[in-house]
């Protein structure tokens, strides 16, 4: 494959990755908002359940966790989605770095500026 053709292919891929990165960042913003809402829902539901429960503080705490099980699961799932999305964004950044390195190397080997 000719050097110029490789550079063009890599630059096209970098454009695609940049678009993917933009979309991933938008998705992360949405997921973080959902995670914050899920955290708030869990805290409020647990607090209400704690106040309704009777017995020792520890017994009330356990009952509150049991009573807010759905919100706890939702909170944990949304937090996991945020972590996964952040890793996806890091991977996209790494792919961009690799592409830039390839282009720079090809420029140096070809002795031309693109």
pLDDT bin (cut points 50, 70, 90) of residue 112 is low
pLDDT (tens digit per residue) in 64-100: 999 999 999 999 999 999 999 999 999 999 999 999 9
pLDDT bin (cut points 50, 70, 90) of residue 113 is low
Q: Give the residue extent of every domain in the chain.
A: 3-109
DSSP per position, 97-109: HHHHHHHHHHHHH
Q: pLDDT at position 6, please?
A: 77
Rounded-to-integer distance, Cα 75 and Cα 32, Å = 11
pLDDT bin (cut points 50, 70, 90) of residue 2 is low
State yes or no: pLDDT of 1 exceeds 60: no
Instruction: Please choose, from the candidates 36, 32, 111, 38, the residue with its C-alpha nearest in 3D space to the C-alpha of residue 73.
Output: 38
Structure tokens at 102: 């390839």
Mean pLDDT of 14-31: 97
């Amino acid at each position: 494959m000719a050097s110029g053709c490789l550079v063009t292919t890599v630059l096209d891929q970098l454009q695609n990755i940049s678009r993917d990165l933009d979309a991933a960042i938008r998705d992360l913003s949405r997921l973080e908002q959902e995670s914050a809402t899920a955290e708030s829902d869990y805290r409020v539901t647990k607090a209400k359940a704690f106040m309704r429960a009777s017995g020792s503080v520890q017994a009330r705490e356990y009952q509150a966790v049991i009573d807010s099980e759905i919100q706890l699961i939702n909170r944990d799932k949304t937090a996991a989605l945020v972590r996964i999305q952040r890793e996806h964004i890091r991977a996209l950044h790494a792919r961009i770095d690799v592409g830039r390195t390839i282009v720079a190397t090809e420029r140096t080997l070809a002795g031309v500026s693109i």
